[in-house]
Amino acid sequence: MRVCVTRIVIAASLGVVSCGKGNDTTALQLDEPGAANSPGTLGDPGSTAEAAPEPQAPPGFAGELANVAASSVLSGFEHGQLRKRMDVAGFSISKRPITLAQYQSCVAAQVCQAPQQECANAGGSGQDAALCVGEENARAYCAWGEGRLPSLEEWLLAARGASPQRFSWGDAAATCEQHPLALDPTLQRLSNAPGSAQVPTETKCGAPVAARFEVGKHAAGASPSGVEDVLLARGELLGGEPASHFTPCAMSGRSCLVYGVLPGAIDAVKLVNEAGTAEMSEAYTFRCVWSKGGS
């Protein structure tokens, strides 16, 4: 049985959790001897990508995709030593997280269902990112537009580039222009439950707390690929890919969450467990990806 081993690193009040494959006794060991130098493969980054048809997106996605060229990516996190270089085929990805209005159109089309998780925001603004829709609903939404959930390695390449860095924009902590909760790491962890006494009315960046999940307001925090609102909520939902370097994201038909300790930080992954409540107590967003040769 595979064991996902957790190590907590505390430095200047920062905790980081990383999970890798195998029965390692420490998160600072590589999966396999020489894993950091042995390339893996996700898709085929060959010469057919240029002649492939353009990807199709769900209604309302016109002009909202970021195109990512085929490349290799060093799969891993800034605060961790589990690394492996992976080849990733070219793809397109939704530039911003799927909004509540976009998701509700899928519900209206009877393709998706209303989310049941406590951290869902069914009563939010249409321009808010759709939160906590669930694994099956996220897959259904992406498949509705002939897409799918991104793998971890695709997401890393799009969200921060080919090499590990802690944020989509680099390694410096978020500013208010880059992330709405830049000065509120505690607020990022709070449930989205409406009317919660724990939630203040205004963020430390001077914006209404109710608008903290609104997409498209922080272009300064975009990745080199133009992907915006990376980890707008604490987590983002990803699809399972057997070739993935990290065990929680290597289960076909299952999903994992990439998440951070600080707002916008790309720190670790964990398996989604919708049968329980512990993994689902914090809000997460999702986005879709389209392979150049089809979904």
> Higher pLDDT residue, 49 or 184?
184
What is the C-alpha separation between 89 and 135, in angstroms, rounded?
A: 24
Mean pLDDT, rounded, for 8-14 = 31
- How far is residue 271's CA from residue 158's CA, in Å, rounded to a whole number? 21
Closest CA to 39 of 68, 80, 75, 78: 75
pLDDT score, position 185: 81
The mean predicted confidence, pLDDT, of the chain is 78
More confident residue, 31 or 268: 268
Q: In this predicted structure, which of 74-83, 158-167, 271-280 has the lowest mean pLDDT?
A: 271-280
Least confident segment among 94-98, 181-185, 213-217: 181-185
pLDDT of 150 strictly over 90: yes
Q: What is the pLDDT of residues 106-122, one digit of tens each?
A: 999 999 999 988 889 98
Confidence of residue 19 (pLDDT cuts 50, 70, 90): very low
**Encoding tokens for residue 88?**
């990733």
Are the CB atoms for 73 and 88 separated by under 8 Å? Answer: yes
- Give the pLDDT score at 10: 29
Reported confidence tier of residue 277, pLDDT bands at 50, 70, 90: very low
Domains and CATH numbers, the chain: 34-270+279-295 (3.90.1580)
Model confidence band, residue 54 (pLDDT cutoffs 50, 70, 90): low
96 against 34, higher pLDDT: 96
The pTM assigned to this predicted structure is: 0.79
If residue 87 lies in a helix (H) or strand (E), which one and from where to where?
strand 84-88
pLDDT at 23: 33
pLDDT at 142 over 60: yes
pLDDT band at residue 60 using 50, 70 and 90 as cut-offs:
low
